[in-house]
Amino acid sequence: MEVSNETKDLADYAYFVAALRRCREQKISLKTAVELTVEECIEQDILRDFLLKNRNEVMRVLLTEYDMKKHIRLERRDAFEEGEEKGREDGILIGEARGVLIGHTEGEYVKLISLIRKKLVKSIPPEDCAELLEEDVKLVTEIYRLMKEYPGKDDEAIYRMYTASIK
């Protein structure tokens, strides 16, 4: 006999939960949905004695638990959005810093290429140019080669060709 009571209790509980979900699907407030579900179950003799005895407690627990779940879900969503925004901001800052660094580096190379061009125009050999500018002979030799091979290219174009040749 005890097994059938437990089975009925489980079936009644399942009915209660399903009835509450049906009410919620009608887009009514949680409080109204719980009240209607409790009334329906009492009328249908589903958990009747329990609901009559513990009606207020059932209401409080369901409303509190639901609000807690909703609160946790909203907190998680907000935290995720905040993290996402922070990540975007950090990404922008890192991108800007990299851009500045790359721009600065490119500017230094273009300036160096300009100085190398002046030495080339004066027919200073690449080894002497490298010594005067305190730069690597291989770098100066490659810049000389590119300038001679592409005489119409400006310093920025030579820089792009140089960086492409060393990759």
Quickly list DSSP for 27-60: T--HHHHHHHHHHHHHHTTSSHHHHHHHHHHHHH
**What is the pLDDT, as a whole number, of residue 24?**
85
Q: For residue 167, what is the DSSP state? A: -
pTM confidence score: 0.47
Percent of the chain exceeding pLDDT 90 equals: 48
CA dihedral 75, 77, 83, 87 (to 10 degrees): -170
Q: Where are the beta strands (DSSP E) in the chain?
A: none
Token look-up 């119409």 returns: 152
Confidence bin at 68 (pLDDT 50/70/90): low
The count of residues in the chain is: 167
**Which of 71, 10, 66 lies closest to 34 in space, CA to CA?**
66
Residue 133, pLDDT score: 94
What span, in angstroms and rounded, lies between the C-alpha atoms of 82 and 77?
9
Per-residue pLDDT tens digits for 131-151: 999 999 999 999 999 999 999
36: nearest Cα among 9, 55, 61, 54: 55
Task: Give the tens place of pLDDT for each residue, 75-125.
Answer: 888 888 888 888 888 888 888 888 888 888 888 999 999 999 999 999 999
